[in-house]
Amino acid sequence: MKKNKLSSALAKAPTFIPGLDEILEGGLPQGRTTVIRGRSGSGKTILGLEFLYRGALAGEPGIFVGFEEPIEQLRQNAATLGWDLAGLEQENRLFLLGGHVKPDMLVSGDFSLKGLLAAVSGKSKDMGAKRVAIDALDVVLRLFETPQQVRNEMHVLNNWLRASGLTAIMTIRPINQGTVPSFDIFFDSMSDCVISLTTQAVDQVSTQRLKVVKYRGSGFGRNEYPYVITPSGLHVAPISTVGLRHKPFGKKMSTGLKRLDSILDGGYFRASCVLLAGLPGTGKSLLASIFTDAACQRGEKVLYVGFEESEAAMIGNMLNAGVDLRPHAESGLLEFLTSMPEAMGAEEHLIRFMVRLNEFGPKHVVVDAISACERMGSKRASFEYLTRLLNNCKEQGVTVLMINQTSGSPEILEISGNGISSMVDTVVFLKYVKEQGETNRLLEVLKSRGSGHSNKQWEFIITHKGIQIKDIYMGTGEVLTGTARQIQEMKDAAEAQRVAAEIAAQELEIERLKTAMESETAHLRASLKKAEMDMDLLKLKQSQSIKSRTEIAAVRSRGAKTRRLHSGPKPL
């Protein structure tokens, strides 16, 4: 009979630590032991305690056994992360036990883990515990004089853990080579899951990495993952488990400038990545602030990530250019996340951003400027930070507006400067043009994926009311700007006036000719009329003359006939 996959799957206890359960494909092995190893300051104690704290909040009581840090100090440190351990203790959902051992007990041979484990067992039954964390066990084991004593106590512990049914975490520091050779090996062999925490400095920037070394009966993320200790606890960035789950573009939205909307055939796509690139002072941040202002006016949240200016400086500079972001910051629609790139490693920057992104829930993110990200440690660190940031935003359907300060000529520069150009959907390039002894600004759209756009270069000016994009003005094969444009406009205006004068003179000549033609036509019509009248008169005279001659001939004919009748016949 074929086994049901669900019934054979390993039961897991979620850690509820952001990012870690994704790497562990659900959590730690339930009812089994996990070893967390790392040097001092790597966060072992915090991981173990957070596993218990968040488990208790989720309904799984837990017990913490610490061999190094005093319990009261542990409570105080946890309070700085916002964890109310005392409250959970009062509700019997959490129990903190200090396992400090006096050196004289070891010398006399009176100490064994059995008594401590028996106490933990009793408390576990009393509170219905599901989880246990044993912190810094290596502190005690190092006090035993012989390897045999160490192995005996470890066997006792291993047997107790197996019988307890508790999901257990043990934290240890790596042993120095040459002391107790089997120490680390035994811990790894007795556990079902081993997690290693390491801290290292790269280019003077500290980085922390988590790696799952072993996980019996389960798949897991096998790479190294950056993690940081945030103000609310541990946060792991499962950067190599991120898949291409980007949401498709949304509808277009306004850039905040009607002329730029027209140039981009309607504006920026929602859930896309827009890059504003150009040399210093070309207006990139101002263009981003105009977009931010427009988005907030639509009631949409914007998270502004700044690496070069403080929030106050940013708002003040934009105010001088006619863009007032103060009302949006006061209303809560706009939040700033600012820091110096050198202040922390790329991993901590990334996790800090992801935490704020998830808490604030913006529709749009502005990153100013990505060219500063290399100062986080290296070009590789910058690339990883930006690609993970973009992936995270695109998966959530968040629009990303990135600002990049370029250098070099446009023909040879890699426009993003960080190797992420292929991930950018729209590129608006701002540049200077020098002519007639002055410097002016041009804007052009180099790329707009999935959309039509203008292929022209547009002159724009920065005023106290923001950015004004001018109509295209062409010279002999090039766009004219500034004084050259003004000179050409004056020449064109003078030429237009000359042509207008010629047109007016020609219109007067046409009117004169029309008048002369009309006068001549009237004269000819009068002459024609007179000729026609003379012709009619002549015809009348002719007609009367013929009639008279006819009448005279008729009279003469009648007179001759009468005379013949009166005279009779002529004599023979």
**Over pLDDT 90: what percentage of the chain?**
46
Res. 3: pLDDT tops 70:
no
Min mean pLDDT across 27-41, 98-112, 333-347 is at 98-112
Q: How far apart are CA 43 and CA 52, in angstroms?
A: 15
Strands 458-463 and 466-469: antiparallel
Does residue 553 form part of some domain?
Answer: no
The confidence score (pLDDT) of residue 149 equals: 78
Weakest-pLDDT range from 75-79, 178-182, 225-229: 178-182
One-letter amino acid for residue 44 of the chain: K
Q: Which of 118, 135, 157, 123 is nearest to 43 (CA)?
A: 135
Same domain, residue pair 205 and 354: no
Instruction: Please tell me the distance from the alpha carbon of residue 415 to that of residue 372, in angstroms, as a whole number.
Output: 14
Residue 116 has pLDDT above 60, yes or no: yes
- Tell which of 179, 214, 241 closes a domain: 241
Q: Residue 40's pLDDT band (boundaries 50, 70, 90)?
A: confident
Q: What is the pTM of this model?
A: 0.70
Q: 233 with 257, same domain?
A: no
Tell whether 257 and 135 lie within a shared domain. no
Question: What pLDDT, on the 0 to 100 scale, is given for residue 563?
Answer: 64
Q: What distance in Å separates the CA atoms of residue 442 and residue 446, rounded to the nearest whole number?
A: 12
Distance of alpha carbon 407 from alpha carbon 444, whole angstroms: 17
Task: State the total domains in the chain.
Answer: 2
What range defines the domain where residue 312 resides?
252-472
Segment 285-321, tens digit of pLDDT: 999 999 999 999 999 999 999 998 999 999 999 998 9
Pick from 462, 461, 426: nearest CA to 446 = 426
Decide if 464 contacts 321 (C-beta within 8 A): yes
pLDDT score for 411: 44
How far from chain centre, in Å, is Cα 46? 33
Helices H / strands E in the chain, number of each: 17, 22
Domain boundary among 241, 267, 295: 241
DSSP 416: T
- The residues, ordered by sequence, that sit 6+ positions from 257 with a Cβ below 8 Å of its Cβ are 287, 290, 466, 467, 469
Q: Which two tokens stand for residue 125?
A: 């039954």
Q: Are residues 269 and 147 in the same domain?
A: no
Which residues, 6+ apart, have CB-to-CB distance to 124 below 8 Å?
63, 132, 164, 166
| Domain of residue 141, CATH code | 3.40.50.300
Q: Which of 244-253, 339-348, 460-469 has the highest mean pLDDT?
A: 460-469
- The pLDDT of residue 34: 95
Which structure tokens are listed for 25?
């494909």
Q: Is the pLDDT of residue 454 over 60?
A: yes
From 124, 14, 17, select the one nearest 62 (Cα to Cα): 124
216, 241, 266 — which closes off a domain?
241
The pLDDT assigned to 4 comes to: 45
Mean pLDDT of 528-542: 84
The answer to whether 35 and 187 have CB atoms below 8 angstroms apart is yes
CB-based contact 447:263 (threshold 8 Å): no
Calpha distance 62→64 (Å, rounded) = 7
Handedness of CA 46, 51, 54, 57 (dihedral sign): negative
Residue 131, classed as helix, strand or coil, is strand
Amino acid at 493: A
Q: How confident is the model at residue 215 (pLDDT cuts 50, 70, 90)?
A: very high
**pLDDT above 70 covers what percent of the chain?**
85
Q: Are residues 218 and 258 in the same domain?
A: no
Count of other CB atoms within 10 angstroms of residue 152:
14
Whether 178 and 298 share a structural domain: no
In the chain, what are the helix, strand and coil shares in percent, each to the nearest 5? Answer: 45, 20, 30
> What single-letter DSSP state applies at residue 219?
-
> Does 429 lie in the same domain as 345?
yes
Backbone angles phi, psi at 394, to 5 degrees: -70, -30
Question: Same structural domain for residues 232 and 267?
Answer: no
Q: Are 369 and 362 in contact (CB under 8 A)?
A: no
pLDDT greater than 70 at residue 480:
no
pLDDT category of residue 111 using cuts at 50, 70 and 90: low
Average predicted confidence (pLDDT) for the chain: 85
Rounded Cα distance, 129 and 123, in Å: 8
Question: Does residue 521 or residue 99 have the better pLDDT?
Answer: 521
- Strands (DSSP E) contained in 110-155 are 131-135
Residue 4 domain-assigned? no
**Residue range 136-145, pLDDT digits in tens:** 888 877 777 6
Greatest pairwise CA separation for the chain in angstroms: 215
Average of pLDDT values for 225-239? Answer: 85
Looking at residue 204, what is its pLDDT?
Answer: 60
Long-range contacts, 38-41 (Cβ 8 Å, 24+): 38/171, 38/173, 38/174, 38/196, 38/197, 38/198, 38/199, 39/173, 39/174, 39/198, 39/199, 40/173, 41/199
Position 329 in a domain:
yes
Amino acid 468 reads Q
In this prediction, residues 252-266 reach a mean pLDDT of: 95
Reading the block at residue 549, the tokens are 């001659």
pLDDT level of residue 242 (50, 70, 90 thresholds): very low
Check residue 41 and give its pLDDT. Answer: 87
Position 179 pLDDT exceeds 50: no
By mean pLDDT, which of 108-117, 149-158, 180-189, 270-279 is the weakest?
180-189
**pLDDT at position 240:** 53
Q: Whole-angstrom Cα distance, residue 73 to residue 45?
A: 12
Residue 311 to residue 368: CA distance in whole angstroms: 12
What is the Cα–Cα distance from 365 to 335, expressed in whole angstroms?
10
* Bond before 369 cis per omega within 30 degrees: yes
Q: Is the pLDDT score of 222 beyond 60?
A: yes
379, 241 contact by CB (below 8 A)? no
347, 227 contact by CB (below 8 A): yes
Do β-strands 224-230 and 131-135 pair in parallel, antiparallel, or remain unpaired? Answer: unpaired
Q: Is residue 443 included in any domain, yes or no?
A: yes
92 and 196 housed in the same domain: yes
DSSP-derived letter for residue 187 is H
220 with 323, same domain: the answer is no
Check whether residue 138 and residue 259 sit in a common domain: no
pLDDT tens digit sequence for 364-400: 999 998 989 988 878 888 888 898 899 889 889 999 9
Give the single-character DSSP code of 523: H
- Is there a domain that residue 5 lies in? no
Tens-digit pLDDT profile for residues 416-434 = 555 677 789 999 999 998 8
- Can you give the pLDDT at residue 247? 78
Q: What pLDDT score does 107 carry?
A: 44
Q: Identify whether 227 is part of a domain.
A: yes
What gap in Å lies between CA 44 and CA 210, rounded to an integer? 11
Residue at 497 is within a domain: no
Q: Indicate whether 14 belongs to any domain.
A: yes
pLDDT at 566 over 90: no
Whether residue 198 contacts residue 38, with contact meaning beta carbons closer than 8 Å, is answered with: yes
For the CA atoms of the chain, what is the radius of gyration? 48
Same domain, 234 and 333: no
Contacting residues for 442 by C-beta, under 8 A, at least 6 apart: 430, 431, 432, 433, 457, 458, 459, 460, 479, 481
